[in-house]
Structure 1
Amino acid sequence: MDAFLSSTLAVAIAEIGDKTQLLTLFLVARFAQQRGAIVLGILLATLVNHGVSAWLGGWLADLIPESWIAWIVGLSFIAVGLWVLVPDKDDEEESASLKYGAFVATSILFFIAEIGDKTQIATVILAARYEEMLLAVVAGTTLGMLLANVPVAYFGGALMKRVPLDWVRRAACALFVALGLLSLIHF
């Protein structure tokens, strides 16, 4: 349960103000009547992306000497915590995939947007930390992604105006640093 809850909380907080929320706003503006298809696209893209990321994290944990894992995981969490303080840029461009509808466009664009993103890196780190519970990590990170993006799909701009992004980034930083410190202490 710890793997699931840690994964959910870490990704949900880290995702607030992330480029995928901006992408969600863009997709809702483009496909206003297809919010359900957008949510399903987010779900599919996240399951695939984070599933591969968790597998990679588990694989790396098998290769790395056990005495190093605590340091790598702990310091990686702290590094991701500091990284979330840096705001994302809206660098997504319109894609040819938009012509295939809301579900396909969302699936493709979300998958691409998550490559190398903070939440993908966090998934790799969480999987290395909870090597025996990869499904719980993927379920948690996917739920975290949905918790952060589904409200944007349905409530869009009004929600984004009420969330103080600087505060959220600081809270996400504190969460990741705390997870890093806990990882260092518990290993």
Structure 2
Amino acid sequence: MEAFLISTGIVALAEIGDKTQLLALMLAGRYRKPVPIVFGIFVATLLNHFAAAAVGHWLMSKIGPDLMRWGLGLSFLAMAGWMLIPDKLDEDSRLLERFGVFGTTCIAFFIAEMGDKTQLATVALSARFPDALLLVVAGTTLGMMLANVPAVLLGEVAAKKLPQKMVHTIAALLFAGLGVVTLLTPLQI
């Protein structure tokens, strides 16, 4: 349950102001069809984060626990720093109109999550909690939904009212704390 709760909280906070949340706002404003957008975000996130968690799980099985502990601890500390740098949606993002709202959302979100901090956090979290792969995926997916569904439903008004700097600082502190705990606690394989 710890893996689920930590994964949910970290990703929900990390996602606020992230490029995929900006993408959700853009899709909501462009299509004004929240149901297929929300389902598209869910499917894309589930697929992307399951793949990321599988990579983290595989890494944990191939690298010794001491080396992995240092790699994870340092990566969580790096994520803490990354959280303090705001994301911007790339201006050259082109949506694939021929796939409809659901398909466009799935494709756009899946691609936008590639190499994103929440995807990398999923890799690290699944390596940190190797016996809880499904709980990590469920938690990171729920965290994405908690951050993006309001963005879709409430649109730009909600995004402007959230204190993004404070939220990013809290997420950075959580990542830093997880990094320190990881560095100080031997991993179990």
| TM over 0.5, shorter chain | yes
Q: Is the 8 A contact 1:31 1:102 kept in 2?
A: yes
Q: Is the 8 A contact 2:95 2:108 kept in 1?
A: no
Q: Is the 8 A contact 1:23 1:92 kept in 2?
A: no
- Correspondence for 1:21: 21
**In structure 1, C-alpha distance between the alignment counterparts of 2:91 and 2:122, rounded to whole Å:** 22
- Correspondence for 2:184: 185
Q: 1:46 to 1:19 in 2, by over 3 A?
A: same
Provide the secondary structure at the position in 2 that maps to 1:132.
Answer: coil
Provide the secondary structure at the position in 2 that maps to 1:86.
Answer: coil
**In structure 1, C-alpha distance between the alignment counterparts of 2:80 and 2:106, rounded to whole Å:** 27
Q: 1:176 to 1:96 in 2, by over 3 A?
A: closer
Deviating beyond 4 angstroms after TM superposition, the runs of 4 or more aligned structure 1 residues are none
**In structure 2, C-alpha distance between the alignment counterparts of 1:165 and 1:4, rounded to whole Å:** 24
Structure 1 window deviating more from structure 2 (53-62 vs 94-103): it is 94-103
**In structure 2, C-alpha distance between the alignment counterparts of 1:140 and 1:132, rounded to whole Å:** 14
Q: Is the 8 A contact 2:122 2:137 kept in 1?
A: yes
Where structure 1 has 5 or more consecutive residues not aligned to the other structure, the ranges are none
**In structure 1, C-alpha distance between the alignment counterparts of 2:30 and 2:74, rounded to whole Å:** 40
Where structure 2 has 5 or more consecutive residues not aligned to the other structure, the ranges are none
Q: 1:149 to 1:180 in 2, by over 3 A?
A: same
- Correspondence for 2:12: 12
**In structure 2, C-alpha distance between the alignment counterparts of 1:92 and 1:148, rounded to whole Å:** 22
Number of residue pairs matched by the alignment: 186
**In structure 2, C-alpha distance between the alignment counterparts of 1:100 and 1:71, rounded to whole Å:** 43
- Correspondence for 2:73: 74
**In structure 2, C-alpha distance between the alignment counterparts of 1:68 and 1:167, rounded to whole Å:** 33
Deviation at 1:96, TM superposition (A): 4.8
Deviation at 1:22, TM superposition (A): 0.8
**In structure 2, C-alpha distance between the alignment counterparts of 1:17 and 1:129, rounded to whole Å:** 25
Identity %: 51
Deviation at 1:44, TM superposition (A): 0.4
Residues 64-110 of structure 1 show CA distances to partners (whole Å, capped at 9, x for unaligned) of 11121221111111111111111112105353512321100100000
Aligned counterparts, 1:124-139, within 5 A: 124-139=123-138
**In structure 1, C-alpha distance between the alignment counterparts of 2:61 and 2:12, rounded to whole Å:** 27
- Correspondence for 1:93: 92
**In structure 2, C-alpha distance between the alignment counterparts of 1:118 and 1:23, rounded to whole Å:** 15
